[in-house]
Structures are given as structure tokens and as C-alpha cells.
């Protein structure tokens, strides 16, 4: 069945080919309104409304898609520029770890410097104590020397000097005895398998002070000897002869009588 035309004036149905209403003679518009199906389940208005709804839904859907795409694009660009939240957390973790590592390194460096500083202080203190002990030992030895009146030594090394130049060196045993009470010095040497003892008398004695030790000078003036000098701390004794020769003996070892 063909779709009828509905008169806008009286509402009468007219055949599709009619231009004027068969009831009232009113001109009928070309647009068909009214029932378009012989089943009568939809009208033009409903179809138009449905089309409008479809258009609205389609527009809303497209709008939502565009919004979602725009948000996704903005987030993607932001992530490219600033990184994701996980990247930020990871960067923060790396930064924290680097800061922690730097802090630990500074602490370790400070502890190491403190440790070596303490070692240096202990070493300096040890050297200071050793020097004090050495000086105390020297002072005690000097005190003992001044309280004693007789000293005996053994030497295994000596040399002969002239004008400050060593002429001969001897690796022989010699014995030396200084008697302050009797004002004598004895020198015992071995010559051709026999021990020879020479005794020198001294008239006076004086000291030559030095930084680390004191040298005692005995004024002899007999048996070809001018002076005899003796340093108990350094462990040496020397005989200055009238011809300018000096007989020096080293590595003195105390002999307990």
C-alpha cells in the first residue's frame, strides 16, 4: 500500500497523487506526514526523533572519543616530557640512592681521615715518649757518671786521624779506664801479641756542652798527649797527641769491675 498524504487543514487522508484535499480542497504539501507503514507502528515524527537521537548519540560518542583521545595525547606528551609516575618514582629512588651513596662516601671519608689522624697522633705521642725516655736514660747515665769516680770501657773499633782525615782504621780490642779520684787515664792495647798499658795523668777537666750529650775534656800534657776527650752518651773516647794526631775509639762498652 502506498503511503497516503494527510491534509494539513482537515487531516483527511488523500491519495499520494492528489495535490488538493478531496475533503476540504486545501492544497496538500508534498511532505508526507502520518502513517508510513501499513502496519502503523512508526510515524515520521518518531523517525525524525529517532534520527535526532541517533545524531545526538553519535555526536556525543564522537565528542567523548575526541576527549578521550585528547586526554590520552596530552598524558602521552606529558609522559614524554616529564616521564610517568613510575619513572618519577624511579628517578626519585635513584636520586635518593645517589644522595645516600654520596652521604655514605662522605661519612666513610671522614671516618678514614679521623682514623689516620688518630694514628698520626698516636705515632707522634709514641715518638715523644721515646724521646723523653731516651733523655731520661741519658740523664740517669750522666748522674751515675757524675756519682762514680772510676769508669772502664772496652772498644773494638778505632781510627787514626790527622787534620780531620782518617789515616788508618783499627778493628782491635782496646781497654780504657778513667779514674777521676786519682786523675789518671789508662789505655791498654795489644802489640805483637802482648798487652801494653799506658797511663796518663791529667791536671784539670772541663765540659763541652752539646745538644744531645756532654763531652768531658781531660787536660793531660804528658807522655805525648795533650788532651783526652770522652763522651759517655755517644760511646767514644779520643786522645789528641802533640804531633797533631788523634786516636779515636768508638763503640765503648761498660766494663763492670
Provide the domain count of the chain. Answer: 2
Cα 227 from Cα 246, distance rounded (Å) = 10
161/72: higher pLDDT: 161
| pLDDT above 70 (res 81) | no
- Tell me which residue of 124, 244, 230, 134 sits closest to 177, measured CA to CA: 230
**Lowest-confidence region among 89-103, 122-136, 166-180, 210-224:** 89-103
Domain for residue 11, yes or no? no
The predicted-structure confidence for 12-33, as pLDDT tens digits, reads as follows 888 888 888 888 888 887 655 4
Same domain, 105 and 182: no
Share of the chain above pLDDT 90, in %: 32
Residue 17 belongs to some domain of the structure: no
Q: pTM, whole model, 2 decimals? A: 0.43
Bigger pLDDT: 103 or 94?
103
For residue 211, give its domain range.
149-254
Q: What is the mean pLDDT of residues 25-46?
A: 55
Same domain membership, residue 158 and residue 108 = no
Same domain, 225 and 244: yes
Contact 61, 45 (CB under 8 A): no
Instruction: Show the beta-strand stretches assigned E in 8-149.
Output: 13-14
22: in domain = no
Q: Is 151 exposed, middle or buried (0-12, 13-18, 19+ CB in 10 A)?
A: buried
Q: Are residues 132 and 162 in the same domain?
A: no
- pLDDT tens per residue, range 128-150: 888 877 777 766 665 555 567 89
Share of the chain above pLDDT 70, in %: 75
What is the average per-residue pLDDT within 99-105?
73
> Are residues 93 and 138 located together in one domain of the fold?
yes
In a domain, residue 204? The reply is yes
Q: Is 130 found in the same domain as 189?
A: no
CATH number at residue 183: 2.40.160
Q: Tell me, what's the pLDDT at 32? A: 53
Q: Is residue 171 included in any domain, yes or no?
A: yes
Of 147, 166, 187, the domain-final residue: 147
Q: Which of 147, 172, 190 is the last residue of a domain?
A: 147
235 & 183 share domain? yes
Q: How confident is the model over 193-239, as pLDDT tens digits?
A: 899 999 999 999 999 987 778 899 999 999 999 999 999 888 899 99
**Residue 24 lies inside a defined structural domain of this protein:** no
User: Per-residue pLDDT averaged across 184-199, rounded?
Assistant: 92
Task: From 95, 117, 147, give the residue that closes a domain.
Answer: 147
Do 108 and 189 share a domain, yes or no? no
Which of 5-14, 84-93, 171-180, 214-223 is least confident? Answer: 84-93
The strand order across the sheet containing 245-250 reads 165-170, 157-162, 245-250, 236-241, 225-231, 214-222, 204-209
Contact 229, 237 (CB under 8 A): yes
223 and 154: one domain? yes
For residues 157 and 185, state if they share a domain.
yes
Does the structure show a pLDDT above 60 at 82?
no
Q: Strand runs (DSSP E) across the chain, as ranges?
A: 5-6, 13-14, 150-155, 157-162, 165-170, 174-179, 184-191, 194-201, 204-209, 214-222, 225-231, 236-241, 245-250, 253-254
Domain check: are 104 and 200 in the same one?
no
Q: What is the mean pLDDT of residues 74-89?
A: 60
- In a domain? residue 222: yes
Judge if 93 and 155 occupy the same domain: no
Amino acid at each position: 500500500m502506498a503511503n497516503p498524504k494527510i491534509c494539513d487543514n482537515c487531516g483527511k487522508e488523500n491519495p499520494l497523487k492528489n495535490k488538493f484535499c478531496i475533503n476540504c480542497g486545501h492544497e496538500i504539501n508534498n511532505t508526507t506526514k502520518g502513517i508510513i507503514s501499513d502496519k502503523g507502528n512508526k510515524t515520521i515524527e518518531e523517525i525524525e526523533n529517532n534520527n535526532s537521537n541517533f545524531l545526538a548519540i553519535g555526536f556525543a560518542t564522537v565528542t567523548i572519543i575526541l576527549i578521550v583521545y585528547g586526554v590520552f595525547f596530552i598524558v602521552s606528551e606529558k609522559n614524554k616530557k616529564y616521564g610517568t609516575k613510575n619513572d618519577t618514582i624511579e628517578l626519585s629512588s635513584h636520586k635518593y640512592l645517589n644522595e645516600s651513596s654520596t652521604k655514605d662516601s662522605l661519612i666513610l671519608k671522614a671516618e678514614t681521615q679521623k682514623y689516620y689522624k688518630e694514628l698520626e697522633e698516636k705515632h707522634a705521642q709514641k715518638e715523644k715518649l721515646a724521646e723523653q725516655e731516651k733523655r731520661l736514660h741519658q740523664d740517669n747515665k750522666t748522674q751515675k757518671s757524675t756519682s762514680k769516680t772510676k769508669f772502664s770501657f772496652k772498644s773494638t773499633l778505632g781510627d787514626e786521624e790527622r787534620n780531620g782525615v782518617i789515616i788508618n782504621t783499627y778493628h782491635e780490642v782496646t781497654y780504657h779506664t778513667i779514674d777521676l779520684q786519682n786523675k789518671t787515664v789508662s789505655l791498654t792495647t795489644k802489640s805483637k801479641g802482648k798487652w801494653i798499658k799506658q797511663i796518663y795523668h791529667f791536671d784539670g777537666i772541663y765540659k763541652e756542652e752539646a745538644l744531645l750529650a756532654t763531652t768531658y775534656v781531660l787536660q793531660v800534657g804528658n807522655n805525648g798527649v795533650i788532651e783526652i776527650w770522652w763522651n759517655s752518651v755517644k760511646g767514644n773516647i779520643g786522645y789528641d797527641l802533640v804531633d797533631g794526631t788523634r786516636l779515636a775509639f768508638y763503640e765503648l762498652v761498660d766494663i763492670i769491675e
